[in-house]
Chains A and B, each alone.
Chain A
Amino acid sequence: MNTTSKTSIYKGITPAALIAVIVMPMVLPSTTLATEILIFALAALGCNLLLGYTGLLSFGQGIFFGGGAYAASLSMIHLNFGLLSALLCAMIVGALLAALVGALAIRRTGIYFVMLTLAFSQMAYFLAYTLSDWTGGDNGLLDVPRPALEIFGIQLADLTSSQAFYGFVAALFMLIFIFARRVIHSPFGSTLVAIRENEGRASAIGFSTSHFKLLAFVISGAITGIAGALYAMLLNFAPLSNIELMMSENILIMTIIGGTGSLLGSLLGAGTIVMLGDILSSIWPRWMIILGIALIAVVLFMPAGLWGGIESLMKRFRESKTSEPDPKLQQEAKS
């Protein structure tokens, strides 16, 4: 399993993610679509830390996404923040919102925890709707800039072209991807898995589980906040839908369809949903029905998600190559 393998975080799925990031803009119809996939892959990555590694089903991800989008946009519009400081601002706001939601929600477990995150999500939406002077309300926050990449006043790259922006998002994605792997393979990450597996035992062997869950929330919120900020920069616009419950659902669906066992699953899930949306919405306005069917199919037939499905396919392929397949392994692959 992930927690027992002591492979370097730069090997294994990291080069696989790097290849995907390089190939995507070449094969996809537009660079903007590829950028959108990476942004949502970041959001799904943040969600995966909670759902896949800690076992927390949070409907609060939209709050951090929308919060990050607003924080970056407002700081750029009103305070003239540059690219990196705006992203930093979004990261901090995402982390703070997650700390707030997390601190209260983790006081309960199971279904009550889920309901609390749901309630927070609704509250955040109506708050954003009410504060229309700041958020633009239903119309969204318009004219969000996309500043150039600058460090200490020295301009490194102009990101106005979609290719340049993709390059920036891709670099940031890889950075955060590696960071997330470091988190998972750290003492902290292995404790999260312990909490997911058996919270009572984790507490009995000495872990204050609430501290660990809270930090998981904060890291997840920080990553999701960055994703929200990048999305606002991509669209030059921060719509109210960023902070809607629907956004939380979308992020969750991407995470689940991709598979919660692996970080690469989050990229796969985000890619699948964003592309399905892009292709199907032009053919049929009710394409969400198909998305629903896809979700049902994955949950019923591929409980480990698309990535889990691919892994077991690869396993079966390797077995068919070896002369004598192990019947037990085959059974596992089938199940």
Chain B
Amino acid sequence: MNDYILETQNLGLRYGAFAALGSVDLKIRKGTIHTVIGPNGAGKTTLFHCLTGERTPSSGSIRFAGKDLTRQPPHKRVATGMSRSFQITSLFQNLSVRENLRLAAQGRDGLAALAFWYSDSQRQQHLQKADEILERVKLTALANTCAGDLSHGQQRVLEVGMSLCGDPELLLLDEPTSGMGIDDIPIMTDLISELGKQHTVMLIEHNMRLVMSISDQITVMHQGNILVEGEPDQVRGDERVKKAYLGESGS
């Protein structure tokens, strides 16, 4: 057993002649918060989509917890212990906050949820899970509110909360602070570093202060490939990273 929970090998995705992802060897160590950053068009989102199964890579492989899931569809990855959140908030807007979380907990059951002959409230474990997550993300007071009526910041928190319901080993967070106001960002920062104690977290993020304060490991991507990898301090001082962010026109 090695201590990498997720490993990609030569992962690439081409659209015709354009390589959105060149050849990426990403290794995520168990129990860490691993952030992927990079300027626009660096391939962060493409990499993320390959990991979640939304896109099938054109080359390379993805190994998660010892299993190869390069070609597994998104819904099957949940049962293996992988869970994701969305950059653009994607909730069940007309359902209550608790029901959003309960459904997310039920999702881990996969096809067992096809059962139509007994009441969903008989499945106490899903309700308990929902209530437990409500506590963790501090939304208990809003449990019966429609998800669509929450503030944007609260919706972002629920977004992350839903990805917790399936008891994932690895959490994939796609720009968790996307669109959040400056006042709400500390809430998300606290939440993610709290999650990092129990799960392995891989996230894509633009907010540098958040990235530098919570990450154990940072991967900087540039033009579809990994440019630099290291701890926050290493990455902060790296000349290549500065150059990638400022653009190469100045050199």
Contact with A along B108-123 (1 / 0, CB 8 A): 1111111111111101
Q: A197-B92, A204-B74, A205-B162 are in contact. List 8 more A-B contacts (CB 8 A).
A: A1-B96, A6-B121, A182-B117, A187-B123, A190-B103, A193-B92, A194-B103, A197-B94
Number of A residues contacting the other chain (C-beta, 8 Å)?
32
Answer yes or no: A203 CB below 8 A from chain B CBs. Answer: yes
CB–CB A182/B162 < 8 A: no
Chain A interface main SS type = helix
Contact with A along B62-95 (1 / 0, CB 8 A): 0000000000011110110001101000111111
Taking CB as reference atom, which chain A residue is nearest B166?
Answer: A206
Sorted nearest first, the 6 A-B pairs with minimum C-beta distance are A206-B107, A206-B78, A205-B107, A188-B116, A197-B92, A187-B113
12 inter-chain pairs at a CB distance below 8 angstroms, sorted by A residue, are A1-B94, A1-B95, A3-B99, A186-B115, A187-B114, A190-B120, A201-B86, A201-B91, A205-B83, A205-B162, A206-B166, A208-B110
CB–CB A212/B114 < 8 A: yes
| CA gap between A211 and B83 in the complex, in Å | 20
Contact with A along B162-199 (1 / 0, CB 8 A): 11011000000000000000000000000000000000
| CA gap between A194 and B92 in the complex, in Å | 7
Answer yes or no: A183 CB below 8 A from chain B CBs. Answer: yes
CB–CB B75/A198 < 8 A: no
| CA gap between A238 and B93 in the complex, in Å | 44
Query: Which residues of B are interface residues toward A (Cβ below 8 A)?
Result: 52, 73-76, 78-79, 83-84, 86, 90-96, 98-99, 102-104, 106-121, 123, 144, 162-163, 165-166
B144 contact set on A, CB distance < 8 A:
4
CB–CB A204/B116 < 8 A: no
Taking CB as reference atom, which chain B residue is nearest A186?
Answer: B116
B92 partner, pick from A198, A211, A215, A219, beta carbons under 8 A: A198
Contact with B along A173-198 (1 / 0, CB 8 A): 00000000011011111110110011
B118 contact set on A, CB distance < 8 A:
182, 186-187
CB–CB A197/B110 < 8 A: no
| CA gap between A194 and B105 in the complex, in Å | 12
CB within 8 Å for A205 and B78 given contacts A197-B94, A198-B90: yes
